Amino acid sequence: MVRQTSCVMSVPTSANAESHVPAPWSAPYSCVDASAMVPAFPGRSWAQETQPQFWSKFQVWEWLQQTLDMHQIDAASIPFHNFDMDGQQLCSMSFQDFTQAAGPIGPLLFQSIADLKWSGQYGIEIFAPLDIKTEVNEFQCSIPPLREDFNTWPCPGDEQLRPRMSPQDLVDIKTPFPPPAALTSPTPSSPESKRLQNRPQTTQHKKHNPRGTHLWEFIRDILLHPDRNPGLIKWEDRAAGVFRFLKSEAVAQLWGKKKNNSSMTYEKLSRAMRYYYKREILERVDGRRLVYKFGRNAQGWKETEK
DNA sequence: GACCCCTTTCCTGGTT
DNA sequence: TAACCAGGAAAGGGGT
């Protein structure tokens, strides 16, 4: 059966268009190419923002999220509160500080920030001078992709700041390190856990999430960082895991952008959400529009799990 | 290539 | 009337 979808969105997804848009602050929250929705938006000086020492707390988190996403590391596995600091504080962290704050991926983060410091210092243009404003007020994309080949770049000067990672350090860097059990283990008796138990051992443990971020994780992560998505989704009952879509179509477009699917709509997104009912990742909230609730198999959203 | 999983797409019908 | 909800059916696509 051939389904020719009609593209109802105005989000350009061609390679060309994509190549002119810097990667958003986070792949999971990939920004809608709002230039399509907001024809004119004010420019912004990027001169300072290319240097991490001038970053705000918000931008530090953007960078952190971007780096985790790039390496397909579950954001819920990282103690974000350890990075509740501005760029200046971030830049003053030592290699050991990063390791303590982020565990096994500390070296990766350290290397990343060292590269950015170095790039900014030497005036390398790694940030495209483009600002994007979505229909959701302040949802801005600012952090471009970090270089994947960071470890192969020449390393002028400050070796103390830029220790080379050994091959062992980089082994399986795309494979997330084991997150806390509380964040990954479905309730033993739940259908989800049974489903996992029935899987071959290799697929249970080999890769945490080979397909990348799932929709519910995407939603969860938006909720966990409300400062980054003003007006998209909000908690109705934080403790109970009840949340509500405020800009359903905007969220759908963000999801579509992440999946490189310009025809994503809330209608389709909500269908995918409803499939989570069976797996108890979400629970029904009867009688309330745009309201969902995390179920027993949704992990990482509780405050106590942070 | 088969199979599994997670969506994605389309659809019908109901509700707000 | 529009937007949303519910869920069946089938296909797409990546991983094993």
Helix residue ranges per DSSP H, A206-305 = 215-224, 248-258, 266-278
The alpha carbons of chain A give a radius of gyration, in whole angstroms, of 20
> Structure tokens of A209?
């999430």
DSSP sequence for A90-109: HHT--HHHHHHHHGGGHHHH
Residue A115, pLDDT score = 67
**A6 CB closer than 7 A to any strand B atom:** yes
Nucleotide with C1' nearest the A4 CA: B9
pLDDT of residue A41: 26
Sign of CA dihedral A67, A292, A290, A265: positive
Nearest Cα residue to A294 out of A285, A95, A141? A285
Residue A208 has pLDDT above 50, yes or no: no
From the CA of A279, how many Å to the C1' of B8? Answer: 18
Question: CA A211 → C1' B5, Å?
Answer: 10
Residue A177 to residues A93, A104, A174, Cα–Cα distance (Å): 22, 7, 9
| Residue A103 CA, nucleotide B7 C1', distance (Å) | 32
Of A288, A257, A210, the C-alpha closest to A36 is A257
How does pLDDT run across A246-274, given as a tens digit for each residue?
Answer: 888 888 888 888 888 888 889 899 999 99
Minimum mean pLDDT among A84-93, A142-151, A247-256: which range? A142-151
Alpha-carbon dihedral angle through residues A146, A66, A44, A153, given to the nearest 10 degrees: -10
Residue A235 pairs in a beta bridge with A243
- Say whether A304 sits in a helix, a strand or coil: helix
Q: Which nucleotide is nearest to A269 (CA to C1')?
A: B8
Is the pLDDT reported for residue A38 higher than 60? no
Q: How far apart are CA A83 and CA A101, in angstroms?
A: 8
Give the closest nucleotide to A203 (alpha carbon vs C1').
C16
Check: pTM over 0.75? Answer yes or no. Answer: no
Residue A3: nearest nucleotide (C-alpha to C1'):
B9
pLDDT tens track for A56-88: 666 677 677 667 666 656 565 566 667 777 777
pLDDT above 80: residue A18:
no
pLDDT digits (tens, 9 = 90+) for A154-200: 333 333 333 333 333 333 333 333 333 333 334 444 445 444 444 43
A199 touches strand C (CB under 7 A): no
Work out if A3's Cβ lies within 7 angstroms of strand C.
Answer: yes
Strands (E), A53-209: 132-133, 140-141
Question: Residue range A217-239: average pLDDT?
Answer: 83
Residue A269 pLDDT = 92
CA distances to A76, A113, A150, A155, A269 from A119, rounded to whole Å, are 29, 10, 11, 11, 39
- Residue A222 scores a pLDDT above 70: yes
Question: Is A165's CB less than 7 Å from nucleic acid strand B?
Answer: no
For A64, half-sphere exposure in the C-beta direction (CA atoms, 13 angstrom radius) is 29
Residue at minimum CA to C1' distance from nucleotide C14: A211
Calpha distance A84→A70 (Å, rounded): 20
The answer to whether A193 CB sits below 7 Å from nucleic acid chain B is no
